[in-house]
Amino acid sequence: MYTDGASTGSPGWAGAGIFIKRKREVERHSFPLGRCDVHEAEFQAVIKAMELLRNEKAEVISLRSDSQTVVQAIEKRYIHKQQYKPLLSAILQLAETFPLFFIKWVPSKENKADSLARKAIRLNERADGL
């Protein structure tokens, strides 16, 4: 699975994109997140993806993200900024519900969820009447 978060500012309109591939099946999701910064959007994208897969009783999760902040926080199980600690905690708790959980950083150009996150930003704008 690939996740991506995007924001128009700090904070700004934000969105989460999720691309899930299983054997021959592909799912694409775009979730508007309201107003937040890009790092919060990145964490929220991971949480939403993990919640989707937990509800489907997935057992092996291989997550790809272009956010070094998120990947390093999950690998180290630590983030310095207080505002992201609850989000990291939620991710770590969700990770424990899967027998196998892997995470890997990928360059932005390889992130299949990028366009889905940008689409989610526009969904915010429509919902707000902009």
Encode pLDDT of 57-79 as tens digits: 889 999 999 999 999 999 999 99
- Percent of the chain at pLDDT > 70 equals 95
Give me the average pLDDT of each 10-residue run along the chain (130 residues).
96 97 93 97 98 92 97 98 98 96 97 97 72
| Structural domains for the chain | 2-125 (3.30.420.10)
- The packing angle between helices 85-95 and 38-55, to 10°, is 20
User: What is the reported pTM?
Assistant: 0.93
Distance of alpha carbon 84 from alpha carbon 79, whole angstroms: 7
Q: What's residue 24's pLDDT?
A: 87
